[in-house]
């Protein structure tokens, strides 16, 4: 059995609902699958002495889960005052409208189609609620609308699906683009180097204690996969599905459709850079 501390990013191990940092509490959604890992992490964020909270990614449209998020906040003496979305995939955002009904909150997101209220989210925005400060970090690549949220007081970053607590994420072609994703990883790396971020609060999987190690692993993994895809094309594998069967032969076949999205994004990247 591998020691979790020896794995990329130093994951904490078992994914549990409950406190993760001084200001962040996880409520794990009951939607586990090969793609969502243990389920969606719905994050409740608040200053310890504040009665107001922010919720990031209410998760799927699952009434018991949404009510559990509200109840968890209320048991801690908090009222949910704002809902934020890292991106629009259903496992993160489908429950947002219903959650807004339950809490009376606005929903802020990069994509206008996901917003409920007048305010969106964009690069450089700072969200403040009850003394809590969150800095919006654009991290497109997994999807065009992907955002991360820097929580300076806890030296943490909420990454949605840009960095997961276990394994690696999908560049969801055609919406997701590999060049954007690599730039986003470098942007997150700068948070670890320049801003002291050491904890990743991911959208799925366990909390990561070594944010810089996680980012470096993701960058190395992407470079390795890109080289494999380039070599596969050179060796006569002309289609994305054939490349997946060749390059991802050691990956669970149930994940091949998702892997094909990443391969298509990699092929686009190689073509754009004149490498194939």
53 — phi, psi (to 5°)?
A: -135, 155
* Per-residue pLDDT reduced to its tens digit, 124-173: 999 999 999 999 999 999 999 999 999 999 999 999 999 999 999 999 99
Please report which residue ranges of 195-255 form alpha helices under DSSP H: 211-234, 240-247
- Comparing CA positions, the residue from 17, 11, 70 lying closest to residue 40 is 17
Bridge partners of 151, per DSSP, are 156
* Per-residue pLDDT reduced to its tens digit, 63-88: 999 999 999 999 999 999 999 999 99
Domain ranges of the chain: 16-209
pLDDT value, residue 29? 98
CB 103 within 8 A of CB 120: no
Please say if 268 is a catalytic residue.
no
Instruction: Count Cα neighbours of 163 within 13 Å in the Cβ-side half-sphere.
Output: 36
CATH code of 16-209, in short, is 3.60.15.10
For 67, the 3-state DSSP assignment is: helix
pLDDT band at 5 (very low <50, low <70, confident <90, very high): low
pLDDT value, residue 7? 84
Three-point CA angle 269, 143, 21, nearest 5°: 120
For 86, the 3-state DSSP assignment is: coil
| Annotated catalytic residue within 38, 91, 145, 180 | 91
């Amino acid at each position: 059995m591998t020691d979790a501390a020896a794995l990329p990013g130093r994951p904490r191990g078992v994914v549990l609902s409950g406190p993760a940092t001084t200001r962040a509490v996880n409520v794990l959604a009951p939607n586990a699958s090969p793609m969502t890992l243990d389920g969606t992490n719905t994050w409740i964020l608040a200053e310890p002495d504040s009665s107001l909270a922010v919720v990031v990614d209410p998760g799927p449209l699952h009434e018991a889960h949404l009510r559990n998020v509200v109840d968890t906040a209320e048991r801690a003496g908090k009222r949910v005052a704002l809902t934020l979305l890292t991106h629009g995939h259903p496992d993160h955002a489908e429950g947002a409208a219903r959650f807004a009904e339950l809490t009376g909150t606005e929903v802020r997101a990069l994509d206008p189609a996901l917003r409920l209220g007048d305010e969106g989210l964009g690069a450089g925005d700072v969200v403040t609620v009850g003394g809590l400060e969150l800095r919006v970090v654009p991290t497109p690549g997994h999807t065009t609308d992907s955002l991360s949220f820097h929580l300076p007081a806890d030296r943490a970053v909420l990454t949605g699906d840009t960095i997961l607590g276990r394994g690696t994420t999908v560049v969801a072609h055609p919406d997701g683009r590999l060049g954007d994703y690599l730039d986003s990883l470098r942007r997150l790396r700068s948070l670890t180097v320049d801003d002291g971020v050491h904890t990743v609060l991911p959208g799925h999987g366990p909390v990561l204690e070594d944010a810089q190690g996680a980012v470096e692993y993701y960058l190395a993994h992407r470079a390795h996969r890109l080289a494999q895809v380039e070599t596969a094309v050179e060796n006569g594998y002309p289609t994305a599905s054939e490349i997946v069967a060749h390059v991802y032969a050691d990956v669970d076949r149930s994940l091949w459709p998702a892997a094909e999205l990443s391969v298509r994004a990699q092929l686009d990247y190689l073509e754009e850079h004149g490498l194939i």
